[in-house]
Structure formats: structure tokens, C-alpha cells
Chains A and B, each alone.
Chain A
Amino acid sequence: MPIDGSDNAILVVNDIVVRFETAEGPITAVDDVSFTVRPGEFLSVIGPSGCGKSTLFNVIGGLLDQHQGAVRVGGETVDGPHKSIGMVFQEESTFPWRNVTDNVAFPLELIGMPREKRIERARHFIKLVGLEGFENRYPGELSGGMRQRVSLARTLASEPKILLMDEPFAALDEQTRLLLGDKVLQIQQELQQTTLLITHNITEAVQMSDRILVMTYRPGKVKRIVEIDLPRPRTSEIVTSAAFGRYVAEIWNDLRVEASRGMRDEEQHALHPRGAGA
């Protein structure tokens, strides 16, 4: 897939191939994926389960070493977690033993920022995600959506050039997700934060993105890149517009084939498991 507009790109993903050895033999999770992200852009990567998008997330984030191809941030090759990339994970990732402020201040603590300064900085981001007033609460006292906001604030506090998120709202109910999506959009627009979102949710992708990268089922390749021409600034109300519906239909058209392949594949596996168990 040719790389477009690369001179302006802040993130360059180049010919990534990831292969794993499993009990059933080698599988190719990601096959020759290339794309770029422009500064301030919101790019979503969407695909069915098993398309390798989480693998891609780990490669770009520097948590997965064994791959071919290269990822470059602002010209520098990614080799292990890069200081310009901030990651938000899918699972619950707040530290239960720290309160909200200490959670958000964590990256600042690691680089040795003095206490008063990091509390002040943390407070700013806590306010940004809308959790003002909860500074001294513990994650155990918060709802799932609020905890994800804490994780987001924590990553934003490290002021990354690129925000990399792996299905951060997958565990939330639809209404919470839509409203949180609003919040994220608002923050992204305010900070002009370059964002790369991995998701399986079409509505979420179209709601938030400038461009959407549709992936095939395993081995994951780039099937299509869709430009989303919906006006900015956007809110969750956009989901009711006709143009929105057309984009969703278009992307589902592409995805449906891949998702069905994935489902058939899983059923095959469940019927005839090879090797020593899952």
C-alpha cells in the first residue's frame, strides 16, 4: 500500500509484518501494513477480531519487538516504548493503590518532576477529562468509565506527541461510550492531539476520526483507507446525520466479509482443536 503525504507525517508505519509461532504452526498476524499519520490527525484502525489490530498497537507502542518493517516517530525509529508515544490500554489499568492524582502524576513521577509541580500538572489533566473533585478518590470508588478517564488523563499527562489507544471503551456500555467519545473528541480538538485509535466499533470510528483504516481478517492487511468528511467540531449528535449513516454502511460493507471469515475460522478451530489446547 503506497504511503501518502509522508513529508508531513509525524508517525510513519512502514511494511510491518508480524509472525507468531503457535502450537498450530506459524501464523501471520499482520502482513505488510503501511500508513502514515499527520500531526493533529485522528486516525482509527478498524477491523474484526483476529485482524491483528492489537498486535499492531503493541508494535507501534514499542512493546513488541519481533517484527519486520519499521515504525518512525518524528524521524526516529521506534525501538521499545518511545517517549513521544503515549498508550491507553483496553483493560482496567489504573493503579488501585494510588488515588486519582497519584495515578495521573505517575509518568511525571518517573521522570523526577518535583512533587508540587506534578500535582499541579496532574490536576490540570484531571480537570481536562472532567474528573474535577475526584482528585483524592481511589479507583475502587469510581465507575468503569471514570477509571478509563483516569487512565486517559495519566497518559495525556506525559504530553505525548502521539496518543495510541487500544479499544479503550470496549468494556463500557454504549451510552457511556458515546459520551466519553465526546469527551475524547473535545480534548483532542482542544489539544490538537495526534491520535491513533484501535477499535472494532464502527460508530465510534466514524464519530471520532479524520481517516479510517479498514483491516482484513488474519493475516491483517490494509483493505481500505476512508476519508471521513464530516464537519468539525463534532459531537455525539453527529451519529444521527445521514452522512454518518452512509459512512457506517460503507465501512460495514467492507468489514462484513472479513468478520464472517473470522467467525467461520473460529468455529473451525473450536470443532477441530489442534495442538495442546488454547
Chain B
Amino acid sequence: MTDAAARIPAGARFDFWPRLFGLVTICAALLVAEFVIRGGLINRFIVPPPSEVIQALYRVVVQEHVFRRFLATAAECLIAGSMLTLVGVATGVAMHRYKLLQQACETWVASIAAAPLVIMYPLFLVVFGRNALTIIMMGFIAGLPPAILKTIEGLAATRKVLVNVGKSFKLTGPQQFWKILFPAALPTIFVGVRLGLIFALINVVGTEFLISYGGLGALIADLAERYDLAGTYAAICFVILVSVLCFVLLEKIERWLRPVD
């Protein structure tokens, strides 16, 4: 534990300059954009100057109740994310345990991952209604396959020698699983959950946008319809914020479960 704790501040020290450089470069680019747009080189009705977008941020918070929408979207993402983690990892474990099931279904799951499920949203609308459930289900289903696949992959990739160590200590099946296989597979499982969360996020906000219901996605659709471009850009910033929130949270959970490296 102390090793990791000692390592983080040292890393932060080295990260400061590049991060600052990145931030400064982006701000400089925004400044250039500001002048170019105000100067008329780019049509301000197609690309609003960054200052307008910043003003719109405030407007969007106060008038459009962005915070409420932000919470709605974040909640949908977190629910879909938790569902896909639980169901995905459990399914992956089951498929690893029952080899026949894995051999029969693994390629099918991989195929589902490749299919553009989100285009089925009109059907989900009809089946689940125009409410949060549709949105959550779309996120859940889209994010499920990577979680399943990476769980199987992680469990299967456990080094044979570790399995043999377990056998040499005469561990029972469940013991072998919880003490050796599962911890060894955790890094890969987290990769799958992260990927699933990406798909879930995309589908949640995307579906909100398409059915004009819910949190930030719906807000963006609204603002776009009113040709409030500055507001649209501002709302997009909040969507990015949801993304940051979800992944920072995931990282914290991962750090808690796997303190080393």
C-alpha cells in the first residue's frame, strides 16, 4: 500500500508540466478561434465564439436546469453500468464454468458486440415506453457483451502455474475460483467493464438525444431544435463531464480493489 501511495505523488510531479502545456495549448486554440470567429472569417452562426459558449454555460445552468438533467443522465449511466457489470461478469463466470455454454455462445456474444444495437431504439420505445427504462435498457444491452467477453478472457488467461499452486494446496472449486482465478482475472475484467461503460454511456446519451426524453441528450436535442448553438456546445460540455465522472469513479473503485499497480 505504501509503495503505491508513494508512487502517486511522484507521478503527479512529472505530470504537471505536460498537463499544463496541454491546457495552455487548448486555451490558446480557443483564443485563436475567438478572434477568427469575431473577425468574421468563420460564420458565427455556424460556430459561435468560445466566449458565447462560456456565457451559454451559465445560461444553460440557470435556465435549463442543467444540474437536474446532469443527475438524470448520470443516474441512468450508473444504473446501466452497474447492471452490465453484475450481469456481464456473472454471465462470463457462468460461461467459463460451463465450457459447453462458452463454446456454443461466445462467438454469438462477440457478434452482438459488433452489431449496431442502438438502431433498435424505436422498438425499445414501443416495448418499454418513452421513459428512463428504455434509455437504461439500451445502455445496458449495448454494454453487456464486452463485459461478458473480457470476463471469460480474464478467467481463461490465468497462468497455469497459479492454477497448479491452488491444486497443490488442495483448494476446493469455489476456493480456487475466489482466491486464484477471480483475483487474477480482475485487471482484464476491469478492461471489459470500462469498455462496456463506454458503450453504455454512448447509448444512454444517444438514446436520450434520439427520443428527446431524459437528461442531457434530450437537452441537446432541444437546444439544437431552437438553433441555440452556443447552448448546444455548452450542454455537450456537461456530457463530457458525465463521462469524466463515470470513469474517475471507475478508476477509484479499481484502485480500491487492486491497490498494487
Q: Contact residues of A with B, CB < 8 Å?
A: 23, 276-277
Bound: A271/B10 CA distance, A: 20
**Extra pairs beyond A23-B10, A276-B6 (7, CB < 8 Å):** A276-B7, A276-B9, A276-B10, A277-B3, A277-B6, A277-B7, A277-B10
Find chain A residues with CB under 8 A from B10 CB. 23, 276-277
Bound: A277/B9 CA distance, A: 11
Closest to A275 in B: B10
Closest to B8 in A: A276
Closest to A23 in B: B10
At the interface, is chain A mostly helix, strand, loop or mixed? loop
Closest to B3 in A: A277
- Chain A nearest CB, measured from B261 CB (Å): 11
Find chain A residues with CB under 8 A from B6 CB. 276-277
Bound: A23/B3 CA distance, A: 15
Residues B1-50 near A (CB distance < 8 A): 3, 6-7, 9-10
Bound: A277/B4 CA distance, A: 9
Find chain A residues with CB under 8 A from B3 CB. 277
Closest to B9 in A: A276
Bound: A276/B6 CA distance, A: 6
Find chain B residues with CB under 8 A from A277 CB. 3, 6-7, 10
- Chain A nearest CB, measured from B10 CB (Å): 3
Bound: A277/B6 CA distance, A: 8
Bound: A186/B122 CA distance, A: 75
Closest to B10 in A: A276
Bound: A276/B5 CA distance, A: 10
- Chain A nearest CB, measured from B208 CB (Å): 44
Find chain B residues with CB under 8 A from A276 CB. 6-7, 9-10
9 contacts between A and B (CB under 8 A): A23-B10, A276-B6, A276-B7, A276-B9, A276-B10, A277-B3, A277-B6, A277-B7, A277-B10
Bound: A23/B7 CA distance, A: 12
Closest to A278 in B: B3
Bound: A276/B10 CA distance, A: 6
Find chain A residues with CB under 8 A from B9 CB. 276
Bound: A246/B6 CA distance, A: 50
- Chain A nearest CB, measured from B73 CB (Å): 39
Closest to B14 in A: A276
Find chain A residues with CB under 8 A from B7 CB. 276-277
- Chain A nearest CB, measured from B12 CB (Å): 11
Bound: A175/B6 CA distance, A: 44
- Chain B nearest CB, measured from A23 CB (Å): 8
- Chain A nearest CB, measured from B242 CB (Å): 34
Bound: A23/B9 CA distance, A: 13
- Chain B nearest CB, measured from A21 CB (Å): 13
- Chain A nearest CB, measured from B36 CB (Å): 42
Bound: A276/B8 CA distance, A: 9
Closest to B7 in A: A277
Closest to A277 in B: B7
Bound: A11/B188 CA distance, A: 50
